[in-house]
Amino acid sequence: MSIKLYRHPLSGHSHRVELFLSLLELDAELIDVDLMKGAHKAPEFVAKNIFGQVPLLEDGDVTIPDANAILIYLADKYDVDNNWLPKEAEKQAEVQRFLSIAAGQVAYGPAAARLVTLFGAELDHQKTIAISEQLLATLETHLSGRSWLATNKPTIADIANYAYIAHAPEGGVTLQNYPNVKAWLKRIEGLPRFVPMQSSAVGLAA
């Protein structure tokens, strides 16, 4: 059965799924959804995802919306060694904690700041930067003496948090004061079959 990923190339949520598919060596058809023209709110797309958001994954007859839900699904179904989503209760809870960070502070910080600068979102830019800086300072401390967010190996927690933090400068958030965070980003980028997210300059010029 073929896998289809409905995405937008500048969406960090979409990228985390695209990256994980690559890391798992899973072939998928990438289907771009034109958010600028409201394609994600069209009736045929809302029929697939009632919230009208990308990414959305179709795996045969199974349809999974929401980036973090997709990561869990893919890890549970295709990662036979349980490396990306450990089965031990304590480790799995730690992974979930950082999935919540990705859906919380990352979404309201660097992701939101980027929405302001790239797409003109009517948000308080200074507030999004302040949230970002607080988050980055916390992660900088957390990553002192450790390589990965949740366990001693890369997990979906790292994949979920990567894109918007890596692209935080596009939202006016500097990474210069956070060497541990920058080293963590480099470790993710050094994983076999890593794929980068499209740069904003390319996407906005297209």
Pairing type for strands 56-59 and 62-65 reads: antiparallel
Q: Do the Cβ atoms of 113 and 128 come closer than 8 Å?
A: yes
**Residues lower than pLDDT 70 in the chain:** 1, 34-45, 47-52, 200-206
The tens digit of pLDDT for each residue in 85-129 reads 999 999 999 999 999 999 999 999 999 999 999 888 999 999 999
Q: Where in the chain is the domain with CATH 1.20.1050.10?
A: 89-189
**Which of 32, 155, 44 has the alpha carbon at shortest distance from 93?**
155
pLDDT at 176: 96
Boundaries of CATH 3.40.30.10 in the chain? 3-80
CA 82 to CA 67: how far, in whole Å?
19
Model pLDDT, residue 164: 97
The per-residue pLDDT for 42 is 58
Q: What's the pLDDT at 81?
A: 85
Rounded Cα distance between 112 and 170, Å, is: 11
Domain 89-189 bears CATH identifier 1.20.1050.10: yes
Please report, for residues 22, 112, 142, 151, the alpha-carbon distance to residue 197 in angstroms, rounded to integers and kept in the order given. 12, 17, 25, 24
Q: Which CATH class is domain 3-80?
A: alpha beta
Predicted local distance difference test score (pLDDT) of residue 70: 97
pLDDT of residue 206: 29
pTM: 0.91
